[in-house]
């Protein structure tokens, strides 16, 4: 069975079709999901999904894209929420230097790294055009772990993250043969440090004509990764699921 380590099952674009999405994904051997939040307003819906579906594992955080929407006391709210709602990670948090408010992004990210450390939870990190700064900030908090989701950096950056005990999220970008650099990087990284993710509803794998990505397409990313790693798909499925279980301390639902 596969674990989708990053899936926005609560996304409004899914139009409350979660039961059908999860049923279709089960046919494709996807049994479990880590569902990261982006704003405080999404926390209750994710909590409810985890009650309704045993394969859903919530993460709560404040995404850098929504700096303008987060309340001034959002970090206090997050800390209170995490104290009373089960979670497998803090996230989705991080830095995106293609978006505005860099000082506020860094402040919010640092606060969430600290909270993850205090709660003894891993981090789910969004890093876009900001990976070196993310690595620099993570270095200031020894002992923390997590994943850089939808990793698109260099082999050198991946190495520095692995040295910090971080994992690398592998999304459908690798199914696109035009992404030669990313594919070379994913071919060279140790399988023990890779997590499979859909990032649905964004980023459908190459060849999928549906408008929205869905977790049922995760096997396409698995197949591409198995080819790049020159390993049997079953082995890649087994190891990446073990990696997710280990990082997020989850027991797969099937
Ligand atoms: Zn995401």
Rounded Cα gap, residues 82 and 61, in angstroms:
9
* Cα distance between residue 61 and residue 205, in whole Å: 26
CA of 37 to the centre of ligand 1 (A): 8
Count CB neighbours of 178 within 10 A: 8
CB–CB of 33/6 below 8 Å? no
User: Residue 95 Cα, ligand 1 centroid: separation in angstroms?
Assistant: 12
Contacts of 150 (CB under 8 A, 6+ apart): 6, 126, 169, 171, 173, 197, 199, 203
Whole-number Å distance between alpha carbons of 27 and 45: 24
Token readout for 174 is 């690798």
Query: How many Å lie between the centroid of ligand 1 and the Cα of residue 53?
Result: 20
pTM: 0.97
pLDDT tens digit at each of 254 positions of the chain: 999 999 999 999 999 899 999 999 999 999 999 999 999 999 999 999 999 999 999 999 999 999 999 999 999 999 999 999 999 999 999 999 999 999 999 999 999 999 999 999 999 999 999 999 999 999 999 999 999 999 999 999 999 999 999 999 999 999 999 999 999 999 999 999 999 999 999 999 999 999 999 999 999 999 999 999 999 999 999 999 999 999 999 987 76
Separation CA 179–CA 170 (nearest Å): 13
Beta strand ranges found along the chain (DSSP E)? 2-4, 30-36, 56-60, 89-96, 123-128, 146-148, 166-170, 194-196
Q: Give distance in angstroms: CA of 146 to centre of ligand 1.
A: 14
CA of 38 to the centre of ligand 1 (A): 8
Q: Which domains does the chain have, with CATH numbers?
A: 2-248 (3.20.20.140)
CA–CA gap between residue 229 and residue 178 (Å, rounded): 17
What is the whole-number distance in angstroms between the Cα of residue 149 and the centre of ligand 1?
Answer: 7
Q: Note whether 163 and 214 are within 8 A (CB).
A: no
CA of residue 8 to ligand 1 center, whole Å: 6
* Ligand 1 centre distance from Cα of residue 244 (Å): 16
Tokens representing 91?
Answer: 């996230």
What distance in angstroms lies between residue 92's CA and the mean position of ligand 1's atoms?
Answer: 6
Number of helices (H), then strands (E), in the chain: 9, 8
């Amino acid at each position: 069975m596969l674990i989708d380590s990053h899936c926005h099952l609560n996304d409004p674009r899914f139009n409350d079709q979660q039961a059908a999405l999860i049923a279709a994904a089960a046919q494709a051997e996807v049994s479990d999901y880590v569902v990261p939040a982006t704003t405080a307003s999404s926390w209750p819906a994710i909590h409810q999904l985890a009650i309704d579906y045993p394969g859903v594992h919530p993460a709560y955080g404040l995404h850098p894209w929504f700096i303008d929407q987060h309340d001034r006391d959002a970090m206090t709210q997050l800390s209170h929420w995490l104290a009373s709602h089960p979670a497998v990670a803090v996230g989705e948090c991080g830095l995106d230097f293609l978006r505005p408010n860099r000082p506020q992004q860094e402040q919010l990210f640092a606060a969430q790294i600290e909270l993850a450390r205090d709660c003894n939870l891993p981090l789910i990190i969004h890093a876009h055009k900001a990976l070196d700064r993310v690595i620099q900030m993570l270095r200031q908090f020894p002992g923390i772990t997590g994943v850089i989701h939808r990793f698109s950096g260099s082999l050198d950056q991946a190495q520095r993250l692995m040295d910090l005990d971080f994992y690398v999220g592998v999304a459908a970008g690798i199914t696109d043969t035009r992404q030669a650099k990313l594919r070379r990087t994913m071919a060279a990284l140790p399988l023990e440090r890779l997590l499979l993710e859909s990032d649905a509803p964004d980023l459908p794998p190459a060849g999928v004509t549906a408008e929205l990505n869905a977790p049922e397409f995760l096997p396409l990313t698995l197949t591409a990764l198995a080819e790049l790693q020159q390993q049997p798909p079953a082995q890649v499925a087994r190891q990446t699921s073990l990696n997710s279980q280990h990082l997020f301390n989850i027991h797969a639902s099937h």
